[in-house]
Amino acid sequence: MERFSPTLTDSERADLVALRRDFHRHPELGFQETRTMGVIAERLRALGLEPRTGVAGTGVVAVMDSGRPGPTLLLRSDMDALPVTEVADRAYRSETEGVMHACGHDGHMATLLTAAAVLRRLGEPKRGRLKLVFQPAEEGEGGAEHMIAEGVLADPPVDAALALHYWSQLPTGEAAVVAGPFMASVDDFTIRVIGQGGHAAMPHEVPDALVAGAAVVTALQTIVSRRTNPMLPVVVTVGAFHAGHAFNVIADKAVLRGTCRAFDEEVWLSLPGHVERVAKAAAEVHGCTVEVEFQRLHRAVVNDAEMTAHVRETVAGLLGEDSIAELRTMGGEDVSEYLSRVPGCFFFVGSGDAAKGTMAPHHSAAFDLDEDALPIGCELLVRLARDYLAGED
């Protein structure tokens, strides 16, 4: 893979993989990344930087300052693992039962740390500042929002942000770099359907929360098919449905949990209203009432046109024009919290290789990174940072 990472030395490439395996062996869940934080801080100190630790609990921020005027570029890596039990018997298998780096965040941390080391060796940045952000709790717990609340976009103020995600559904050697909406917004809802318990043989006497809940599940799909513009993608998924406890008792309540996804801001804003109205009406037909709790997790990832053009040019320069895939996904990422405040680009670096068995979906127990993708990601970050903060005088 030297061909795709000419700036890295052999020892940097080896260190990148070793570091990723170390993180992989010691996964930690969101806001519990204390060992991870320690390793990151130690690495940054070894580069002569003064990392701030404990940001949003377990986050780390370090600034590489050229000492010369210029913009500040933020590079972000997430840190958290998932409550998944690793199935494969690899040398670097998770040593914590029930916890696994099943999304590749181990690779992101190793990549950003190695990129920082390479940039340091090259005497970069030439102007402005590079802000290295290691963010806890990306997996649905609002890590990005907490980091921003603790001032990660200020002091020094950030002008632009970049982040990558390794992507197993994309072959190694390819990248997905798309301007505009790239990943969907993520909302989480809970609907409580309230009926009245009774005898299973006398259904006419009480409102049945289970039947009403089933009607709500079905009716919610009409938000996508009838209520929103078909040109604008939306997903409504009910992922959990709990009701009843016995074969001969009518359920007095049903609890549904689900998620909505959208690209378009206007559609996103309309979703809580749709869910509430549809759930209420569908339950009412069956004599039941509902309580709807709607939680916004994060908005859609929308890439800035200019920053995306910069990334596309860099990717094309390293991997070739036809390496760029026009892929978008209804999955979400809290990197949108940064990108809705400063111009930036979030992109996928392919890490799927069928022969190596690294095409399992993210979050699955069989997930693994193609380690040949790591130097590619690292080289891209190095080039992007160097070019963005290149001396102009």
Q: Is 361 exposed, middle or buried (0-12, 13-18, 19+ CB in 10 A)?
A: exposed
Binding string to Zn ion for residues 228 to 257, with x set by CB under 5 A, is what? Answer: ------------------------------
By CB under 5 A, which span of 54-62, 102-110, 129-137, 276-284 interacts with Zn ion? 102-110
By CB under 5 A, which span of 101-109, 176-184, 188-196, 216-224 interacts with Zn ion? 101-109
Instruction: Give me the residues paired with residue 250 across strands.
Output: 198
Q: What is the dihedral of CA 100, 104, 109, 112, to 10 degrees?
A: 170
By CB under 5 A, which span of 103-111, 170-178, 225-233, 337-345 interacts with Zn ion? 103-111
80 is catalytic: yes
Of 28, 138, 159, 379, which is the active-site residue? 138
CB of 104 to Zn ion, least distance (A): 6
CB of 363 to Zn ion, least distance (A): 6
Report the DSSP pairing between strands 324-325 and 175-176: parallel
By CB under 5 A, which span of 37-45, 51-59, 100-108, 190-198 interacts with Zn ion? 100-108
State the Cα–Cα distance between residues 270 and 264, nearest whole angstrom: 10
CB of 12 to Zn ion, least distance (A): 24
By CB under 5 A, which span of 95-103, 114-122, 221-229, 311-319 interacts with Zn ion? 95-103
Decide whether 16 or 103 has the Cβ nearer to Zn ion: 103
State the Cα–Cα distance between residues 57 and 51, nearest whole angstrom: 14
CB of 48 to Zn ion, least distance (A): 30
The answer to whether 101 and 361 have CB atoms below 8 angstroms apart is no
Residue nearest to Zn ion (CB): 103
Three-state SS for 330?
coil
Decide whether 250 or 339 has the Cβ nearer to Zn ion: 339
The answer to whether 27 and 39 have CB atoms below 8 angstroms apart is no
Evaluated on CA atoms 279, 280, 282, 283, the torsion sign reads positive
CB of 234 to Zn ion, least distance (A): 21
CB of 227 to Zn ion, least distance (A): 29
Of 12, 28, 80, 187, which is the active-site residue? 80
Alpha helices by DSSP H, listed for the chain, are 10-25, 34-46, 105-121, 143-149, 209-222, 265-284, 305-319, 336-339, 373-388
Q: How many beta carbons lie within 10 A of that of residue 263, not counting itself?
A: 20
Three-state SS for 364?
coil
Nearest in space to 380 (alpha carbons), one of 301, 323, 300: 323
Residues from 18 through 47 that contact Zn ion (CB under 5 A):
none
The binder of Zn ion chosen from 73, 79, 103, 307 (CB under 5 A)? 103
Size of the site for Zn ion (CB under 5 A): 1
Could you tell me how many residues make up the chain?
A: 393
Residues from 287 through 306 that contact Zn ion (CB under 5 A):
none
Write the CB contacts of 230 (distance below 8 Å, at least 6 apart in sequence).
none
State the Cα–Cα distance between residues 343 and 271, nearest whole angstrom: 26
138 is catalytic: yes
CB of 283 to Zn ion, least distance (A): 33
Residue positions annotated with a catalytic role: 80, 138
Applying CB under 5 A, the residues found at the interface with Zn ion are 103
